[in-house]
Amino acid sequence: MLTRIDHIGIACFDLDRTVEFYRATYGFEVFHTEVNEEQGVREAMLKINGTSDGGASYLQLLEPTREDSAVGKWLAKNGEGVHHIAFGTADVDGDAEAIRGKGVRVLYDEPRRGSMDSRITFLHPKDCHGVLTELVTSAPRPAAEH
C-alpha cells in the first residue's frame, strides 16, 4: 500500500545553483547528497517534513553526471523541471507486482538501489497519464534522522 509522497524529483543542469535557490527562496536544507553511478546522477535530497509512518517527504534535485543517463537525456529534451513523483511504500516488491497485475508497465524486473539505500522501481509514464512514477521503500534509518 502506498503510504505517502516520498519525493518529487527535479532535474537540473547545476545542482549547487539549484540547491541554493531552494535554500534561499524556501529555507529548505540539504538532508543528504550522493552520486548514483548506476543512474548517472549527482543528487541532493532536501527534507520537507517528517511523516506519520516514520518516513519523510523530500525534493530530490538531480544533475546528470553523463549525457547518456536517463536524467541527462530527459534534460536535453525537456529542460529543467519536474522529472518524476515517488510514492513511499513498505513493500516495493509487492506493490510493484500488484500494479503490474493491473496492466501498468513496471520498468525494472527487480527493484534497484535508490537514494539513501532505498529500494526503488519506476512505472512507465505512458501508463500513468504522462507521469514517470517511482515506488520507494526507504532503508531503515535511525530514529534521529526521521
Task: Please identify every residue annotated as catalytic.
Answer: 7, 43, 60, 84, 134
Residue 61 backbone zone (phi > 0: left; psi -120 to 50: alpha; other: beta): beta
Look up residue 143 and give its three cell numbers.
530514529
| Beta strand pairing call for 30-36 and 2-11 | unpaired
Look up residue 4 and give its three cell numbers.
505517502
